[in-house]
Structure 1
Amino acid sequence: MEILIKYGSFRFIAEHISWILLKINLVVVNWGFSVMLLTIIIKVALLPLSYMSYITLLKLKRNKSELNSVTKKQNKKNVTKDIINLYTKQTTNPINCYLPILIQTPIFISLYCTLNKSIEFKRAPFILWITDLSLMDPYFLLPIIMGLSIFIQQKINNKVNKINNISKLLPVFVTLFFLWFPSFLLIYWITNNFITAIQHYLIQKYYEEQ
């Protein structure tokens, strides 16, 4: 019961993530950099799933005009059949967008639980002005970087999903929301966002060159 309360429903995954984090810190000897390295390792390990999901989104975006023409046909009875034939012809399965996300979700929930329940961050310094990872950034620089990471992600993903005016304000809302969050969680989210942005940029570039 104690383990369940500490790590939540995905305790089996969380316990292994916690073990990896401890091993990383034995080498790095800095909990802030350990969080960054752990996040990078998990993102790289899940890259095949991220690739499958994002490449499917790019294919759906490219084929959107054909899909629209199919759905606008007068004979509505054959629309579903035509859509299936279109996806088969273009080797595109929309499920590939969501299945990888469903698989990754328990892992990232477990990672969050592991970090959020770790007492090692108490009074643990990171760099320069961050002298206690369990406290908020006194100069609010990490929340600003967090908002910047969201902005960069939006710019890269704009080719897949056009950003509307409300979504453009998301970096500002995120910055304000995370102002008082502990530094170690911000380090995790910033690292995760920048690695995701790099992955999406490289996948887009690879897809466009095909």
Structure 2
Amino acid sequence: MDANEKDQNKNLMIALVLTGLVLVGWQYLFPQPLPESSVQQKTTEASTSTDKIQNDNINVVTGKDIDLSKEATNEVNSTEFILENESARVVISNFLELKSFSYKNTSRNLNEVFPEFGAKISILEDGKRFEQGFNLNQISPTEIEFSQSKTSGLLRLNSDGQLLIKAKSDQGLQFVGSIVSKEESKDQKVNNFVYYTDELVTEAVGEDLFEEKDIKLGWFGIDYDYHVLAFVVPGNSFHLRGEKSELKLANLRALNELEFKVSFLKKNYDDLANLGDNLKNAVDFGIWSVIALPMLRGLQLFYSYLQNWGLAIIFLTILIRLAMFPLQHSSFKSMKKMQVLQPELKKIKEKYKDDQRKQQEQTMALFKKHGANPVGGCLPLFLQMPIFFAFYRMLYNSVELVDAPFYLWIQDLSERDPFYILPALVGGAMYFSMKLNPQTSMDPAQQKIMKFMPLMFSAFLFTLPAGLNLYIFVSTIVGMAQQIFVYKRTPSSVSA
């Protein structure tokens, strides 16, 4: 999660706290979606006996020895090669530097998603770099052989769109990978460095980027905007080191053979799961994954019938609201009772304004007489919050919304509303929803602040995807309808 997204989530949580039931199902203060691993273990030797180098004279470069200045590409000697099949197209240099990576089933390529990003792969022989690059020989549209000194290898673009890199040498090889984000990137889009280890996806950004550790990796890469670039290195032990906006890794042990994959993927949960290597963990549902994944299946089911992701969001939102109605009914009923009792509460407050103890006793007696509970509306609200939080996380991570049109002016549900119509509609719905809950117990200053909440809330939504705005609007409208339904069936006056 980048810095901008965290700021948006913080603002939205403030809106939730201030507006209470109006914002049921909206936003919350996110736990880190990419939880930091609390265990930074020194890994055991990961190589099998056939992979181990027995010669103690082999040089091994550690993370502390990684110097990216030595990895600068010699532009004079740089040559680009293309690997292409029905799934993907990759442009790579003889220095094994990714120049372009695009999938045929998406309109976006690596350079468009990560405009301020650089990826470099180095293979070291006996601890030394190949300063002049490799000799590359293209043997087919999807395969390139490379060699230098005593090292030989193969680049192959698999049918699933993953780039396979294999190398071998009797002198001992190391993989050194680096991903770089330029500091001048204004919106910090590409600071989402991530790595997978011990069944956790960890974000390395900000101060965490400066951590230095030895870990056993499954994959590492960069994550942003419904896409992930992953270097898959399962089971290998690495030294990880971060500097400024760079993440660097090197094998802890030299090997006779190296094999790893590079994948630039849309974060489609099912596609990533099919590829294996725990890449599915790049789709972050946070702590709500147990709930969010079934919701994703529900969204996909509605789409299979409706053939429109916007309509699928609407119908799934209505279904969830209906499923939550028993809890909401209790909450709305309790709120209505408290609203009806407000005149009596004001009388008690005025009558016993100089006796706080008596005022409290009379207030509790009034609640008991009419079966009202001042916190009765809160418990059902908190019980249903995980459902709405999970739905939000599911939508925020749904790559299905990318390039998915709705109707009229909404041509991409993953992008913000170009005319801000949906945020304005949400603000209007929120205003009328607040009218259903007169805050008579608030002092005048608080009431004035609440009047501005719809406008402020709309402003918070301007930069969020249209799909999320659609969900919030429909959820608010359905919630209002349910509240009106309950209020009409709840007595509007108290008996003597």
TM range (shorter): 0.7 to 0.9
Deviations 1:189-209 (A, max 9, x none): 100111111122222222247
- Equivalences, count: 210
Matching residue's letter, 2:292 = A
Aligned partner of 2:462 among 171, 174, 179 = 179
Query: 1:85 deviation in Å?
Result: 3.1
Distance 2:428 2:329 in 1: 23
Q: Where do 4+ consecutive residues of structure 1 move more than 6 Å? A: 159-163
Partner of 1:125: 405
Partner of 1:9: 287
Deviations 1:98-130 (A, max 9, x none): 100110111111000000011100001111221
1:136/1:182 contact within 8 Å kept? yes
CA distance 1:209–1:92, change in 2 (3 Å): closer
More moved, 187-196 vs 133-142: 133-142
Task: Tell me the SS of whatever aligns to 1:6.
Answer: coil
Distance 1:141 1:151 in 2: 15
Deviations 1:73-97 (A, max 9, x none): 4665555554433322211222321
Aligned partner of 1:67 among 339, 345, 362 = 345
TM-score, normalization: structure 2?
Answer: 0.39
2:331/2:380 contact within 8 Å kept? yes
Distance 1:79 1:158 in 2: 23
2:340/2:492 contact within 8 Å kept? no
Distance 1:187 1:56 in 2: 29
Deviations 1:120-175 (A, max 9, x none): 00001111221111111112211221211112212232377778222222222222
CA distance 1:181–1:76, change in 2 (3 Å): closer
Distance 1:75 1:128 in 2: 61
Distance 1:77 1:173 in 2: 39
Partner of 1:190: 473
2:295/2:391 contact within 8 Å kept? yes
2:422/2:466 contact within 8 Å kept? yes
Distance 2:484 2:357 in 1: 39
Partner of 2:161: none
Matching residue's letter, 1:28 = L
Q: Which has the higher contact order (CA 8 A, sep 6+)?
A: 1
Matching residue's letter, 2:479 = T
The yes-or-no answer on 1:143 pairing with 2:426 is no
Distance 1:140 1:77 in 2: 51
TM-score, normalization: structure 1?
Answer: 0.88
Distance 1:134 1:201 in 2: 32
CA distance 1:84–1:130, change in 2 (3 Å): same
CA distance 1:80–1:5, change in 2 (3 Å): farther
Q: Percent identity?
A: 28
CA-atom RMSD, angstroms?
Answer: 2.5
CA distance 1:156–1:77, change in 2 (3 Å): closer
Bigger strand share: 2
CA distance 1:43–1:102, change in 2 (3 Å): same
Matching residue's letter, 2:385 = T
2:429/2:477 contact within 8 Å kept? yes
CA distance 1:49–1:191, change in 2 (3 Å): same
The yes-or-no answer on 1:97 pairing with 2:377 is yes
Bigger helix share: 1
Query: 1:44 deviation in Å?
Result: 0.9
1:122/1:132 contact within 8 Å kept? yes
CA distance 1:176–1:209, change in 2 (3 Å): closer
Task: Tell me the SS of whatever aligns to 1:207.
Answer: coil
